[in-house]
Amino acid sequence: MKKLNTQVVIIGSGPAGLLLGQLLYKAGIEHVLLEQRSAEYVAARIRAGILEQVSVDLLHLAGIDQHLKQQGLPHSGIEILSHGTKYRIDLSALTQGKQVTVYGQTEVTKDLMQARQQEQLSSFYEAQNVQIHDFDNAPKVTFDYQGEQYQIDCEFIAGCDGYHGVSRASIPQERIQTFEKVYPFGWLGLLADVPPVADELIYVQSKRGFALCSMRSNTRSRYYLQVPLTDKVENWSDEQFWEELKLRLDPESREKLVTGTSLEKSIAPLRSFVTEPMRFGKLFLAGDAAHIVPPTGAKGLNLAASDIVYLASALIEYYQHGSEQGIEQYSQKCLQRVWKAERFSWWMTNLLHDFEGDTAFEKKLKQAELNYILGSEAGQATLAENYVGLPCEVEHLRQLLVEGNCQKAS
């Protein structure tokens, strides 16, 4: 068996793991990253598209925002189409100038992976059979790589390995509590090289079900349709997708919609899920490993980023100042923000989707709630404040990085 040792082992090369790696590198903290998939697979995965300011600021701190600055599209508003009538939520006007940025998770991942490669940071892609040992006392991670067995002794383990990862699964049941809600529908997503139907995202509530018109750039669009959980992607030709989308849109958008061949099409089930706590001795969970939100509020990737703000700060405080305060508070700080994002995502999902089981009374109430939100400045402000993202301690992390003794801080 090959033996290595390092300060932090990061499991998972999604946005959470890659961001943490980049920030630890900047702070001069040694780490090794393990990923079960190939680098090509990870870089090609199509997922989120909307970054909160917190995530944009974090990518800036991590020093990998050159492409984001050039290609990200700042959005100061979103539209909600409710049964044929369009309402604009002026995010910036309602939140003292805040906005969101359209920039694909695929691009974030590629930028981070490229930076890792340039700095030659230690990474094992296609690491198999990753296992976590003794995370309360003397943490170790074992895995198989290119036919050889490895063991890494470390001081901390960051479980950034998503919903299906090994980190959460390694925790004894009596030490972990989980909270879950599964929705009775999924989102069928389609990516195509066609110009977006509108300058801003359109969230569509219709009798035929929810739809979302999003984008990745001025020439690449991302559309979603609410579909039953039992549906299969093979049941949907591109033509059928476009026809159904048109039926859920208003006449003006229907007219403007440019259709084309799909680059990718997939169905994602919708789920709310939270793990408590998020730290177990020297093992931290971050991102989708600890929580899942339905995509309606565009929060998943952004929550992964805010967990990393707290985790990177905690580890830097520990290594720079010998303080365990950030480590002790990690779980509680993350969960406060996580539950607010869970609430918002659940609320947006309830408000905009068609729930088959709803009684006529419940349908009327939901419509009244949406009408209230859309017709009231206070209601719109609540939506906007949550959509652009709640505060997070990015400034604290910046201070730690630039003012501390970090060897590589800029």
- Among ligand PHB, ligand RFL, none, what binds residue 75 when CB lies within 5 to 8 Å by partner kind? none
Structure tokens at 87: 């309402």
Structure tokens at 256: 């403007």
Q: In the complex, what is the shortest distance from the CB of residue 100 to ligand PHB, in angstroms, rounded to a whole number?
A: 9
- Among ligand RFL, ligand PHB, none, what binds residue 304 when CB lies within 5 to 8 Å by partner kind? ligand RFL
Q: In the complex, what is the shortest distance from the CB of residue 143 to ligand RFL, in angstroms, rounded to a whole number?
A: 8
Residue 295 among the catalytic residues: yes
Q: In the complex, what is the shortest distance from the CB of residue 356 to ligand RFL, in angstroms, rounded to a whole number?
A: 21
Phi, psi of 17 (to 5 degrees): -65, -45
Judged by CB under 6 A, the stretch of 168-176, 232-240, 291-299, 354-362 that binds ligand PHB is 291-299
- Among ligand RFL, ligand PHB, none, what binds residue 308 when CB lies within 5 to 8 Å by partner kind? none
Distance CA 171, CA 271 (A): 21
User: Considering only residues 82, 214, 226, 331, which one is a binding residue for ligand PHB as defined by CB under 6 A?
Assistant: 214
Instruction: Assess whether the previous peptide bond of 195 is cis (omega < 30° from 0).
Output: no
Applying CB under 6 A, does 140 fall inside the site for ligand RFL? no
Distance CA 382, CA 280 (A): 34
Structure tokens at 2: 């090959």
Residue ranges of the alpha helices (H) in 200-324? 238-248, 251-256, 300-321
Applying CB under 6 A, does 34 fall inside the site for ligand RFL? yes
26, 282, 299, 366: which is the annotated catalytic residue?
299
User: Considering only residues 12, 139, 209, 389, which one is a binding residue for ligand RFL as defined by CB under 6 A?
Assistant: 12
Distances 203 to 226, 245, 348, 349 between C-alpha atoms, Å: 11, 12, 10, 11
Checking DSSP bridges between strand 156-159 and strand 8-11, what pairing results, if any?
parallel
Mask of contacts with ligand RFL, 266-305, x by CB under 6 A? --x------------------xx------x--xxxxx-x-
User: Considering only residues 22, 82, 95, 105, which one is a binding residue for ligand RFL as defined by CB under 6 A?
Assistant: 105
Q: Cβ(37)–Cβ(125) under 8 Å?
A: yes
Among the listed residues 116, 126, 117, 109, the one whose alpha carbon sits nearest the alpha carbon of residue 46: 109
**Burial of residue 342, with CB atoms counted within 10 A of its CB: 0-12 exposed, 13-18 middle, 19 or more buried:** buried
Q: In the complex, what is the shortest distance from the CB of residue 169 to ligand RFL, in angstroms, rounded to a whole number?
A: 8
Q: Cβ(118)–Cβ(126) under 8 Å?
A: no
Residues that bind ligand RFL (CB under 6 A): 11-17, 34-37, 42, 47-50, 105, 127, 130, 160-162, 164-166, 187, 189, 268, 287-288, 295, 298-302, 304
| Catalytic annotation, residues | 75, 203, 295, 299, 387
Residues that bind ligand PHB (CB under 6 A): 48-50, 201, 212, 214, 222, 295-296, 298
